[in-house]
Amino acid sequence: MGFAHRHLLGIEQLSQDDIVTLLDLADTYADLNRQPYKHSDALKGLTQINMFFENSTRTQASFEIAGKRLGADVMNMAMQASSIKKGETLIDTAMTLNAMHPDLLVVRHPQSGAVDLLAQKVNCAVLNAGDGRHEHPTQALLDALTIRRAKGRLHRLSIAICGDIAHSRVARSNILLLGKMENRIRLIAPPTLMPSQIGEFGVEVFDDMEKGLRDVDVVMMLRLQKERMDGGFIPSEREYYHRFGLDAQKLSHAAPDAIVMHPGPMNRGVEIDGTLADDINRSVIQDQVEMGVAVRMAAMDLLARNLADSHSDEQELLRWRISPTAFFWRSLTLMLLTMLAWAPALPYFPVTVWALASVLSALFYMWIFEEFQIWYANRKTVWRLTNRALYIDEPNSIEPLQLALTDIEAIGKLSLWSIVLRLPTHQSITLPLVPNVRKTKARIAQAIEAAQ
């Protein structure tokens, strides 16, 4: 099973297979990390830069150890003290680093979406180490590995995520991952800390710990993210602990073998009782830290394997083949037409020879047809894909239209007459292969607006 991603920006983009591939590899690294000699050469000769625009101890240390164990040259940039303070923009910083040819960029940023934006500007693989309230994919993956090792499986479990859901990227990534792996997810929080549209995620919502924790297999606690709150979300920490803090009494409502998790850093006596957090029979908080290194090793290893073939723009272009469904229907039509064309030969050959010849010639036409499209697209260079941005060159315009992949998500299909773009709104838009720049821009803007 492959892992065909250039970056690790969120759980949203990962399939069930991707998640299993990553966790299986992480399992082997978890074993390696328990050996006295913990070295591998998977990232030998590669440069990893950790850019943390927000304070972090464990995540940054975890990424650093992971990179070093795999043989990368690791550099930590203290972004708080950097030229950002002197007014440089995120993109300028990214371009400066890009010029140093790193291979892996690990980024944490207080703004949701900042890491995605950065990934569009650089040539290397980007790993999201947490962006605002958006995603924290390696945290969800390390949580998943911890659960899988403790419970022996990662599906059909009942999992409660409790606390400050509204401000938590950990909760968001975990909801996506555990949902993709077909688990029952319960969210427990005071209404002020529960996102309003949360029902759409297919989860059960509770504002009472006793009811929410009933018979669950996993209890995942979250920190009160005070740095992201801009007002009074809770009456007081004492009151919050009384109603939503996890202690032995509240945990007694969960399954007898339920495990307790927390991504850290913990506020003891606010969201969790200190003694319970240290109870090695229930708490797997230290295992989470251990699995963090293994998961980050696996993620960087898999992305590094894809680095070699993502460097050439031409290769990107060649990958825009027509979709399997389109190929099927076109082959079928061609085959029927060919059969019809060969019909006069029927009295002279057996039917099987006639059918076989028709199938083979139809496939041959299809092959030529597809090769021709790619040749055509390369020749005219009407569409150019460089470094995650799509350019449309038009003979009469001075500036080519540039579409960053925030405007479009992917090239769906490329055919002789048109190109299909998938928008982040999950809509598709079909454009003629020789486009009018102004109209194209307007149609994309219209489609995005209509979907909002």
Catalytic residue list: 58-59, 86, 108, 136
Task: Please state, in angstroms and rounded to a whole number, the distance separating the CA atoms of residues 153 and 352.
Answer: 51
Residue closer to ligand NCD (CB basis): 42 or 299: 299
Supply the minimum distance, in Å, between the C-beta of residue 329 and ligand NCD.
47
Residue closer to ligand NCD (CB basis): 69 or 136: 136
By CB under 6 A, tell whether 163 contacts ligand NCD.
no
What angle is formed at CA 131 by the lines to CA 129 and CA 133, rounded to 5 degrees? Answer: 130
Supply the minimum distance, in Å, between the C-beta of residue 136 and ligand NCD.
5
Tokens of 295: 């998961």
Supply the minimum distance, in Å, between the C-beta of residue 160 and ligand NCD.
17
Subset of 52-71 contacting ligand NCD (CB under 6 A): 58-59
Residue closer to ligand NCD (CB basis): 169 or 250: 169
Contacts of 332 (CB under 8 A, 6+ apart): none
49, 71, 240, 443 from 67: Cα distances, Å: 10, 6, 39, 44
Report the residue from 170, 189, 220, 377 that binds ligand NCD according to the rule CB under 6 A.
Answer: 170
**Neighbouring C-beta atoms of residue 424, cutoff 10 Å:** 14
Residue closer to ligand NCD (CB basis): 212 or 263: 263
Number of residues that bind ligand NCD (CB under 6 A): 11
Subset of 395-424 contacting ligand NCD (CB under 6 A): none
By CB under 6 A, tell whether 137 contacts ligand NCD.
no
DSSP letter for 152, please.
S
Supply the minimum distance, in Å, between the C-beta of residue 184 and ligand NCD.
23
**Which burial class, exposed, middle or buried, applies to 108 when counting CB atoms under 10 A from its CB (0-12, 13-18, 19+)?**
buried
Which is nearest to 432 in space by CA: 444, 419, 443? 419
Supply the minimum distance, in Å, between the C-beta of residue 78 and ligand NCD.
17
Report the residue from 139, 183, 338, 358 that binds ligand NCD according to the rule CB under 6 A.
Answer: 139
Supply the minimum distance, in Å, between the C-beta of residue 128 and ligand NCD.
11
Q: 135, 127 in Cβ contact below 8 A?
A: no
311-314: long-range pairs with CB below 8 Å, 24+: 311/123, 313/384, 313/385, 313/386, 313/387, 314/378
By CB under 6 A, tell whether 223 contacts ligand NCD.
yes
What angle is formed at CA 75 by the lines to CA 72 and CA 76, rounded to 5 degrees? Answer: 135
Residue closer to ligand NCD (CB basis): 130 or 435: 130
Q: 282, 250 in Cβ contact below 8 A?
A: no
Nearest residue to ligand NCD on Cβ basis: 223
Task: Please state, in angstroms and rounded to a whole number, the distance separating the CA atoms of residues 211 and 224.
Answer: 21
Task: Please state, in angstroms and rounded to a whole number, the distance separating the CA atoms of residues 281 and 258.
Answer: 10
Report the residue from 264, 400, 412, 424 that binds ligand NCD according to the rule CB under 6 A.
Answer: 264
By CB under 6 A, tell whether 263 contacts ligand NCD.
yes
Residue closer to ligand NCD (CB basis): 128 or 338: 128
**Residues 71-110, mask of contacts with ligand NCD (x by CB under 6 A):** ----------------------------------------
- Alpha helices (H) in 87-222, listed in sequence order: 90-98, 114-121, 137-151, 169-180, 209-213
- Footprint of ligand NCD on this chain (CB under 6 A)? 58-59, 130, 136, 139, 169-170, 223, 225, 263-264
